[in-house]
Amino acid sequence: MVKKINWSKYTVFENAKIKDLRFKLGANKIFAMALMPVRGSIGFRKLDYEFAEKKINVISVMNKLEECHFNTFGLVIKDTDGACTWDTNEGWNPVKRDLLGEFCDAGKDRNIQILVSFTSMNDAYQGHLHPERVSVHGKNGKKFGIIYHKGEISTHNANEMRIDLPEGFSFEEYQKK
């Protein structure tokens, strides 16, 4: 069964803002593609830091976008688990690459604009269907008996782990990588 959602109930596009965005991007039409680097090559549910660290070929991605006449590229630079993909002293970067910097440099060389996204919810987010919920943790901001406050980032518990940890490593040890 396919749910038919009328997105205009939840999203309003202001023509002035769209016109401004087109002006700033230097394009009448925006052809965009996005990438979530820590999602790996085949999966969406599992996170794959090794893929982002060792297998993403930024030049190859940008060459393909240029070949297909895209003028805008979207990059998720902070995913649901708090992993950052840029050179930062404040956050956690498990991929040990400045993917944001690499994509920005490659975008400049090809006149492809870069947009970035900070994802701060998990895949189960249904805010568009249940706007009364303050977060993905339900109506009361509670998950697994732990209360989270608005804006606070939660980490998935071990039974809900979305990455394959190397044998003998805890999540906390892996974050210190």
DSSP per residue, 56-122: --HHHHHHHHHHTT--EEEEEEE-TT-BB-S--SSSB-TT-S-HHHHHHHHHHHHT-EEEEEE--S-
pLDDT at site 68: 94
* Other C-beta atoms lying within 10 Å of the C-beta of residue 84: 20
pLDDT at 134 over 50: no
* CA-based nearest residue to 158, from 144, 148, 145: 144
91: which residues sit within 8 A by CB, 6+ positions away? 78, 82, 84
Predicted TM-score (pTM) of this structure: 0.63
b/e map of 8-28 (b: 16 or more CB within 10 Å)?
A: eeeeeeeeeeeeeeeeebeee
- The token pair at 3 is 């749910």
HSE of 41 in the Cβ direction (CA atoms, 13 Å)? 8
Angle at 133 between CA 149 and CA 151, to 5 degrees: 30
- C-alpha dist (Å) from residue 115 to 2, 59, 71, 147: 30, 17, 11, 33
pLDDT (mean) for 106-132 = 71
pLDDT (tens digit, 9 = 90+) per residue, 60-104? Answer: 999 999 999 999 999 988 766 667 888 887 777 888 899 999 999
pLDDT (tens digit, 9 = 90+) per residue, 2-40? Answer: 667 777 777 777 889 888 888 888 888 888 888 888 777
pLDDT at site 12: 78
